[in-house]
Chain A
């Protein structure tokens, strides 16, 4: 079983749609959780950290269920500029101590 699993997509949605990405992780010792965004042929960039209580940043909402070892990302009112690959990331240490474990990514394409 892979350490971090994501639906690879692609998700093709119209502008204004709400889209949800799911991710599961296998190591129950995982401590820190993130969503990164990667544009085509670019480097990954941190979108948001994910906290047990859930957290929101504008149109983006992240949820964590430690019991189910499940992470989600909800994007509301999708924009063309949201088109990218979304990477689910976990680590058994804090975010700085190397060994970020990435999923394969879920590709999102937002159409006019």
Chain B
């Protein structure tokens, strides 16, 4: 079975631009979470969606937004990019349940120049 997939794998943008990152969860998984991992740090939680509703939001500015589609795929949008937004953006999916493991995709590496 395919794991979590993300696109694109790499992206280069300039300050002030907008970017959209995409994630397809493992088949049967209805929950998708987004994390940002800056070099040398652990991943930091951005959003979680379950059944197309936002279930959690981390401490990120309103420039960050996301949505989940009826097929449970998800998009993360970042507006007005800053140099500090350069990071690996990870998507994780899971079924939903108290002890259910989250499975991570390979990530999208965003560089803001």
Contact = CB atoms under 8 A, between A and B. Distances in A.
- A89, A93, A96 interface centre (most CB from chain B within 10 Å): A96
Interface size class on chain A is 20 to 34
Interface string A18-46: 00000000000000100000000011111
Interface string B40-77: 11111101100000011010000000000000000000
Interface of B: 31, 33, 35, 40-45, 47-48, 55-56, 58, 90, 92, 94-102, 104-107
A18 B91 CA distance: 33
Interface of A: 4, 32, 42-46, 49, 87, 89, 93-105
Contact of A98 (B33, B95, B105): B33
A58 B44 CA distance: 30
A94 B97 contact: yes
Contacts, number: 72
B96 A96 contact: yes
B55 A102 contact: no
A94 B90 contact: no
A99 B48 contact: yes
A105 B56 contact: no
Contacts of B104: 43-45
8 contacts: A43-B106, A95-B94, A96-B94, A98-B56, A99-B58, A100-B33, A102-B43, A105-B41
